[in-house]
Amino acid sequence: MNHPVRRPVVYAHRGARADEPENTLRSFRRALALGADGIELDIRLTSDGRLVVVHDKAVDRTTDGTGLVADFTLADLQALDAGDGERIPTFDEAMEVCGDVVQIEIKALEAVQALAERERHTPLPGSVVLTSFSRAAVEEAARWLPHVPRGLITHHPGDEMIKEALELKATWVCPELKPELTRELVDRCHETGIQVDAWPTADRAQLLRWVEIGADAVTTDHPGRIAEWLAAPGDR
């Protein structure tokens, strides 16, 4: 079967993570300036119930602080340096910068209800997707935000991935690069109405593989390299 070559949607992983402090407003702005179609970011909840954008459970790796995100108030969390003088942004601050195409990865189960409460007065854009490695988080998203598309992130592409996604009524799967992630598997996803966001996309070979197997989207730390990697050898 011949498949047309097409450019997948490009999600910038925590922004332009290879160039800027991850999950910061500076990183998101840089990613969009470099040509990303959308932003992938992570949400957690502070001790005073505020939605913030940070990947790890603890602040140690990405800031000059120490401790669990859930133990900080928003004010104390935002007093930390998240790299190059950047702060950990609130979710509202991030959405003002990121535009409409956003993949929101749920890192803390309690963040889902907070997101649903926000939705009552500030609806999420229609192109937002809620994703998680956690089946429980995807189920919680279906319960609180049933109208928002959902995606299951997984290290294990295969038939079980499709089965789980269908059980969760997810319209996206986000599989990691593994030998099992083939054109045939992507075709089976598409036949069941599921779109595929493949990761990582760390180099040209990986990107071309995603194009070859028909992935609908890619997530990358290098949004500024995508156009170069997609170009034919004679065009570079």
First to last CA, the chain: 29
Contact partners, residue 199, CB within 8 Å, separation at least 6: 13, 174, 175, 176, 177, 218, 219, 220
Give the pLDDT confidence score for residue 5 in this predicted structure: 53
Closest CA to 14 of 30, 26, 28: 28
Classify 218 as helix, strand or coil: strand
The string of pLDDT tens digits covering residues 34-65 is 999 999 999 999 999 999 999 999 999 999 99
Active site positions, annotated: 13, 55
The domain made up of 9-230 is a member of CATH 3.40.50.2020: no
Q: What is the pTM of this model?
A: 0.95
What's the rounded Cα separation, in Å, for the pair 133 and 109?
Answer: 11
Q: How far is CA 220 from CA 13, 115, 199, in A?
A: 5, 25, 7
The string of pLDDT tens digits covering residues 199-222 is 999 999 999 999 999 999 999 999
- Under a CB-based contact definition with an 8 Å cutoff, are residues 33 and 8 in contact? no
The string of pLDDT tens digits covering residues 79-116 is 999 999 999 999 999 999 999 999 999 999 999 999 99
pLDDT category, 6, cuts 50, 70, 90? confident
The string of pLDDT tens digits covering residues 124-179 is 999 999 999 999 999 999 999 999 999 999 999 999 999 999 999 999 999 999 99
